[in-house]
């Protein structure tokens, strides 16, 4: 049902028709925004395709095939011309390379997985932005309700104060103070309405909704449903989950692992890369060529040896089902590397820096999690204090109303108490929205990826 709603809504929007969109929960808004975001969907498609590409990038493990065709015409002045034709096929399979190919393949797959995690982070960032805008809108709506009720009640009492003032039963200062309070409350209400409209426009822009479309958000009590338990006892559990799922830490761990394995391979420079090459060739002076010639070569490459990279090859040639030749070859080059030892030192320093940076990131992340949990538990206590204060102020208001009617209390003092009660109720709504967003943020941070 929701999918159909989203489909028809998007259809209306893309058709430039003024549509009406209605959200009954924040989940509806998030799902709509994700399905209606071209950039997020393209990012997801790219990440999934990149992962598939990384899994298929095992070409370094596969044999390499080669074919060639040659034709020679040897023209001689005082003898008959000779012609030689040759077609050859060969296959080369790498047998050992000290783990270089496996390291590259594993690292490519891990990098693709990290890109996928980063895509999920973009989605979570988008969800958090929608959550903040959505609940900011709900907050303004609830504040507007409280401010409207306060203004209406104050205006009614102003009419009573005005009557008493005209009858000489009320001081002019109290009457003027009520008038000023009404104007201030009206200004405060107008500001909240203006803020609500700005947030609504921002939410439309975030969800890729036309500004001309009508967006309706139902404010239900179940929207403000937060866990009313402190998190202090679960601090270590939160830290463990967040450290496990943090994308930046995963990237740093991957980098350290890759550099460590790469350093290990460089230290084992004396180990060769070994490959086996087999081929068959057909030669003759005319087609079809009927003289097969088989060859097998075992190749050792010591390309990682500093300054003197070397190559060795041992080959066998078989012709007409008989061993017709042996071939042993070696080559060594003098490779000038004046910065070799410095580069090795830099590699060690880079590895040490990566580990230090990772440890600092872990410490900072732990501290930020503790701060979030402290803020969460403090907000819970503050909410309880506000609720208790509201109950006390409501009881005091009833007593003050009796005192005002009995002439035992100034109306201006009674008005101040009502304003303080309204302020406490507004603070309660703000704290409830704030703690809900905080819990959502912790939920996203601990979410398994």
Greater model confidence, 120 or 390? 390
Predicted local distance difference test score (pLDDT) of residue 72:
75
Count of all residues that appear for the chain in the document: 449
Residue 368 has pLDDT above 60, yes or no: yes
Q: Which two tokens stand for residue 323?
A: 């061993």
Residue 238 has pLDDT above 60, yes or no: yes
Residue for token pair 């035992």 = 408
pLDDT digits (tens, 9 = 90+) for 408-429: 888 878 888 889 999 999 999 9
Predicted local distance difference test score (pLDDT) of residue 448:
65
Mean pLDDT of all residues belonging to the chain: 84
The average pLDDT across 306-318 equals 79
What span, in angstroms and rounded, lies between the C-alpha atoms of 291 and 76? Answer: 25
Q: Which two tokens stand for residue 112?
A: 């693709």
Q: What is the per-residue DSSP string for 1-30?
A: -HHHHHHHHHHHHHTT---EEEESSHHHHH
Phi first, then psi, for residue 62 (nearest 5°) are -85, 155
- CA within 13 Å, CB half, 15: 9
Greater model confidence, 128 or 7? 128
What span, in angstroms and rounded, lies between the C-alpha atoms of 105 and 61? Answer: 9
Residue for token pair 């259809």 = 11
pLDDT digits (tens, 9 = 90+) for 127-178: 889 988 998 998 899 899 999 999 998 888 888 888 877 877 777 888 888 8
Confidence of residue 80 (pLDDT cuts 50, 70, 90): low
Greater model confidence, 263 or 2? 263
The average pLDDT across 179-199 equals 93
Residue 284 has pLDDT above 70, yes or no: yes
Write 431-434 long-range contacts (CB < 8 A, 24+): 431/379, 431/382, 431/383, 431/386, 432/224, 432/226, 432/383, 433/135, 433/136, 433/138, 433/139, 433/224, 434/379
Predicted local distance difference test score (pLDDT) of residue 81:
64
Residue 204: in which H helix or E strand, if any?
helix 172-206
Of the given ranges (6-10, 237-241, 400-404, 444-448), which has the lowest mean pLDDT?
A: 6-10
The average pLDDT across 314-335 equals 76
What span, in angstroms and rounded, lies between the C-alpha atoms of 414 and 421? Answer: 11
Confidence of residue 124 (pLDDT cuts 50, 70, 90): confident
Residue 193 has pLDDT above 80, yes or no: yes
Exposure letters 136-160 (e unless 16+ CB within 10 A, then b) = bbbbbbbbbebbeebbeebeebbee
The average pLDDT across 27-53 equals 91
The average pLDDT across 335-340 equals 78
Pairing status of strand 273-284 against strand 82-96: antiparallel
pLDDT digits (tens, 9 = 90+) for 209-220: 988 888 888 876
Residue 228: in which H helix or E strand, if any?
none
Residue 390 has pLDDT above 60, yes or no: yes
Query: Does the N-terminal peptide bond of residue 288 adopt cis geometry, omega within 30 degrees of 0?
Result: yes
Q: Yes or no: say if 209 and 417 are a contact pair by the CB < 8 Å rule.
A: no
């Amino acid at each position: 049902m929701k999918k159909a709603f989203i489909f028809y809504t998007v259809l209306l929007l893309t058709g430039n028709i003024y549509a009406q969109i209605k959200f009954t929960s924040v989940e509806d808004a998030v799902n709509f925004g994700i399905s209606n975001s071209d950039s997020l969907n393209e990012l997801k498609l790219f990440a999934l395709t990149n992962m598939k590409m990384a899994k298929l990038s095992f070409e370094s493990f596969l044999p390499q095939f080669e074919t060639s065709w040659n034709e020679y015409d040897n023209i001689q002045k005082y003898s008959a011309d000779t012609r030689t034709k040759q077609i050859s096929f060969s296959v080369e399979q790498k047998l050992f390379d000290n783990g270089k190919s496996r390291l590259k393949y594993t690292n490519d797959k891990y990098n693709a997985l990290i890109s996928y995690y980063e895509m999920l982070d973009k989605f979570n960032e988008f969800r958090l932005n929608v959550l903040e805008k959505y609940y900011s809108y709900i907050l303004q709506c609830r504040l507007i309700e409280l401010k409207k009720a306060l203004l209406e009640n104050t205006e009614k009492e102003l009419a009573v104060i005005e009557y008493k003032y005209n009858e000489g039963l009320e001081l002019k200062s109290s009457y003027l103070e009520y008038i000023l309070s009404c104007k201030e409350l009206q200004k405060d209400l107008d500001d909240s309405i203006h803020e609500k409209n700005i947030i609504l426009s921002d939410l439309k822009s975030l969800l890729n909704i036309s500004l001309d479309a009508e967006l309706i958000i139902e404010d239900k009590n179940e929207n403000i449903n937060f866990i009313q338990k402190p998190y202090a006892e679960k601090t270590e559990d939160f830290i463990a989950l967040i450290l496990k799922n943090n994308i930046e830490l995963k990237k740093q761990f991957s980098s350290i692992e890759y550099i460590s394995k790469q350093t290990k391979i460089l230290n084992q420079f004396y180990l060769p890369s070994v490959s086996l090459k087999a081929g068959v060739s057909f030669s003759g002076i005319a087609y079809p060529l009927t003289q097969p010639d088989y060859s097998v070569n075992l190749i050792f490459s010591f390309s990682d040896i500093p300054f003197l990279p070397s190559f060795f090859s041992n080959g066998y040639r078989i012709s007409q089902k008989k061993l017709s030749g042996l071939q042993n070859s070696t080559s060594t080059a003098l490779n000038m590397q004046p910065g070799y030892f410095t580069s090795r030192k830099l590699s060690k320093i880079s590895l040490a820096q990566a580990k230090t940076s990772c440890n600092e990131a872990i410490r900072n992340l732990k501290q930020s999690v503790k701060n979030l949990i402290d803020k969460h538990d403090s907000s819970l206590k503050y909410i309880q204090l506000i609720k208790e204060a509201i109950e006390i102020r409501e009881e005091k208001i009833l007593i003050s109303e009796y005192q005002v009617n009995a002439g035992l209390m100034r109306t201006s003092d009674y008005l101040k108490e009502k304003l303080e009660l309204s302020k406490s109720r507004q603070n309660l709504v703000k704290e409830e929205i704030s703690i809900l967003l905080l819990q959502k943020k912790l939920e996203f941070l601990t979410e398994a990826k």
